[in-house]
Amino acid sequence: MIEKQYSYTQTNEKVIEKLVGDDMAMINHIVLAAGEALPEHYSDSNVYLVVTRGNLTIQLDEQETHHYQASVVNIPFHTKMNISNAGKQVLEFFIVKAPHPRVYKAETV
């Protein structure tokens, strides 16, 4: 078998799971119920948020809050992120970091 499969949880409950962690990319799967949020943090690589369900609410650095659905949102390195689900539906999205943060740090030093 040449391909590699990475399964993720199908749920409406909060989940944060790491799916892929090789040097080329890090991929996480997130599900947030209405009103839930991730802790404020800074992006540690080139980050792509792939919104597959619901409405992503995000505030970056000091800019106004934005909302995205059915979108891919690119966040530059070292950007302060506040990600939440301010909607009424479940929010589901994938976080793709390319390259993996450990490789990005090595390349930028």
- By residue count, the chain amounts to 109
Contact indicator for 57, 87 with CB cutoff of 8 Å:
yes
Report whether pLDDT(104) > 90.
no
Distance CA 71, CA 53 (A): 10
pLDDT tens-digit series, residues 31-44 = 999 999 999 999 99
Q: Give domain limits for the chain.
A: 15-108
Give me the pLDDT at residue 67, please. Answer: 98
The encoded tokens of residue 10 equal 């199908």
**What superfamily would CATH give domain 15-108?**
Jelly Rolls (2.60.120.10)
- Report the pLDDT value the prediction gives residue 106, as an integer from 0 to 100: 63
The pLDDT score that the predictor gives to residue 108 is 64
Measured CA to CA in angstroms, residue 23 lies from 55, 76, 97, 102 at distances of 30, 18, 10, 8
pLDDT at 40 (0 to 100): 96
CA distances in angstroms from 81 to 16, 47, 49, 77, 90, listed in the order given? 16, 11, 12, 11, 20
Q: What is the dihedral of CA 58, 62, 63, 64, to 10 degrees?
A: 70
- Tens-digit pLDDT profile for residues 51-102: 999 999 999 999 999 999 999 999 999 999 999 999 999 999 999 999 888 8
Quote the tokens at residue 66.
């934005």
Question: Has residue 105 got a pLDDT over 80?
Answer: no
Sorting pLDDT into bands at 50, 70 and 90, what band is 103?
confident
